[in-house]
């Protein structure tokens, strides 16, 4: 078949550990399997207020962050630069660039993150930082 439709109401949410101790958990829904993606990987993420992912640098994947609702705070590069983006905004991050996704707002952040190529060459995990 040449296309696949994924109904958000049918996605299964998996609790994922926070990027730092003492913070709330995040939730992810796998879009890669649901949409039968072969050239990229994707997930929808829900970040409650005060949640952050792990700071890392992907070795091979380009990652794209699409904000659906809320405000995404990204720490990009080394030393990290803070970038805040709102709904319908996109942040594209090249491989080997240090990054961290955060929700520093008062409402839930929902975003779609996809990476290509779909093969995972691993990531280098970095120490969390405060800006």
Kindly give the confidence (pLDDT) of every residue in the chain, 131 residues in length, as a single tens digit, with 9 standing for 90 and above: 699 999 989 999 999 988 788 889 999 999 999 999 999 999 999 999 999 999 999 999 999 999 999 999 999 999 999 999 999 999 999 999 999 999 999 999 999 999 999 877 789 989 999 88
pTM, rounded to two decimals: 0.92
Domain count, the chain: 1
CATH code, 103: 2.60.120.10
| Domain around 37 | 26-121
Contacts of 118 (CB under 8 A, 6+ apart): 32, 37, 38, 39, 40, 41
Flag whether 106 is in a domain.
yes
């Amino acid at each position: 078949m040449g296309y696949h439709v994924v109904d958000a109401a049918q996605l299964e949410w998996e609790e994922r550990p926070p990027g730092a101790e003492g913070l709330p958990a995040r939730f992810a829904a796998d879009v890669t399997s649901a949409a039968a993606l072969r050239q990229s990987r994707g997930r929808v993420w829900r970040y409650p207020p005060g949640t952050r992912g792990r700071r890392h640098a992907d070795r091979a994947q380009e990652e794209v962050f699409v904000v659906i609702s809320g405000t995404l705070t990204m720490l990009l590069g080394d030393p990290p630069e803070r970038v805040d983006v709102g709904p319908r905004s996109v942040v594209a991050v090249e491989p080997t660039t240090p990054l961290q996704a955060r929700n520093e707002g008062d409402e839930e952040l929902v975003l779609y993150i996809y990476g290509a190529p779909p093969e995972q060459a691993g990531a280098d995990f970095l120490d969390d930082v405060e800006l």
